[in-house]
Amino acid sequence: MNVDAADKLKHRKGIVKIRLTKKDGSPIKDTEITVSQVKHKFLFGCGAFDSLPLANDELGENDKAKIEERFEKFFDIFNYATIPFYWGRFEPEKGKPDTNRLKKASEWLVSKGCLVKGHPLCWHTVTAPWLLDMSNEDILKAQLERINREVSDFKGLVDIWDVINEVVIMPIFDKYDNGITRICKELGRIRLVKEVFNEAKKANPEAILIINDFNTSISYEILIEGCLEAGIPIDAIGIQSHMHQGYWGVEKTLEVLERFSHFNIPLHFTENTLLSGHLMPPEIEDLNDYQIRDWPSTPDGEERQAMEIVQHYKTLFSHPMVESITWWNFCDENAWLGAPAGLLRRDNSCKPSYYELKKLIKDEWWTHPTRLVTSNTGEFEFTGFLGEYELVIDNIKLHFNLDKNSTLIEITV
């Protein structure tokens, strides 16, 4: 594999020299070895809400088999999973958080090789209804305590968090009264962001803390600028792209990338949706307002979805600031709004989009097993996509990480 200057994916690859020595210090020379990629550094993620009933053994036999089969396909391509911490569902009754169930789900996902992200810690939607009975001062206190509790409880298990969701609209959200809109209106957006990020940072200084929004306008840009000027420790900018009303297209995607990359902070595409059925009408402003009985996946729609997903992932993966892409609904079953938003149909069969995505992640962007021979100093040079690798020498298996900064790795066999 080559990395030349014209390579559009050179930011995704690394070159490293590896030196193999025996325990006595002598080089393992002129020896054949095999190097295989086992994991991407890039975070290819997906919503994994189904892990909750599965990992907690809450399913009947049939359902269990179905969800297990689904996750086999999930783990075939994804190394990153988003699980739900919506406050209103996580702690519907004050003081009784769903910590144990979420822990089991996280542990299971981690055991399958995934990094796990918690979504979200602060949001005005699906928030705890009992906040409505409290004063603003107490709501803020409860919000910060909840952040401290979750981030602390899951430390080492969930170290990536969507700390706050949809702040641009938060203080002016007027569909219904809720505690979070109330405190955001009183404090202002930036002060609330500061409070929740500082609390999360305190609870887990190593965590990756994300601000997330569906608003990709100049307002979100200016909000981020304001947050950064206020010294808020934002580790990644989250951008939702639920494209129920149609694929953005390359041009708009590049324009969004251009505008949000100038902060020099990694970009996470946190919630990606492309449909394999008819599109939502353009006049719908809040996607939640479109409620229909049946929203089928169609053959034409599946072809379109497959084509668009390839285009979309290629555009994002080509951009150096993008660090993760999370597909939102893995399967049409239980998909948000009942939309045909999955890579799998309701019966678990794979749509073309699944195969296309797998081809990208595990073939085109994957470093396939490579046989090499060490030099007479025991060295070999290796180029590949960034990530985790297995090195096989004389039936001994070793692991190493290929990172952008790797230059020389010395391995004693």
Would you tell me which residues interact with its own copies (CB under 8 A)?
168, 172, 188-191, 194, 217-219, 222-223, 225-227, 229-230
Whether the CB-CB separation of 387 and 43 falls below 8 Å is answered with no
Least distance between its own copies and beta carbon 212 (Å): 16
Least distance between its own copies and beta carbon 259 (Å): 8
Least distance between its own copies and beta carbon 204 (Å): 25
Closest to its own copies by CB, 132 or 172: 172
Least distance between its own copies and beta carbon 248 (Å): 19
Whether the CB-CB separation of 399 and 391 falls below 8 Å is answered with yes
Closest to its own copies by CB, 116 or 223: 223
Structure tokens at 190: 């930036």
Closest to its own copies by CB, 186 or 388: 186
Structure tokens at 344: 């799998």
Q: How many whole angstroms separate alpha carbon 403 and alpha carbon 407?
A: 9
Q: How far is CA 150 from the centre of its chain?
A: 18
Whether the CB-CB separation of 144 and 195 falls below 8 Å is answered with yes
Least distance between its own copies and beta carbon 225 (Å): 5
Q: How far is CA 406 from CA 383, 387, 410, in A?
A: 11, 11, 11
Least distance between its own copies and beta carbon 188 (Å): 5
Closest to its own copies by CB, 58 or 225: 225
Sheet holding 396-402, edge to edge: 370-373, 32-40, 387-393, 396-402
Whether the CB-CB separation of 339 and 273 falls below 8 Å is answered with yes
Closest to its own copies by CB, 194 or 242: 194
Cα–Cα–Cα angle for 73, 70, 12, rounded to 5 degrees:
35
Closest to its own copies by CB, 1 or 230: 230
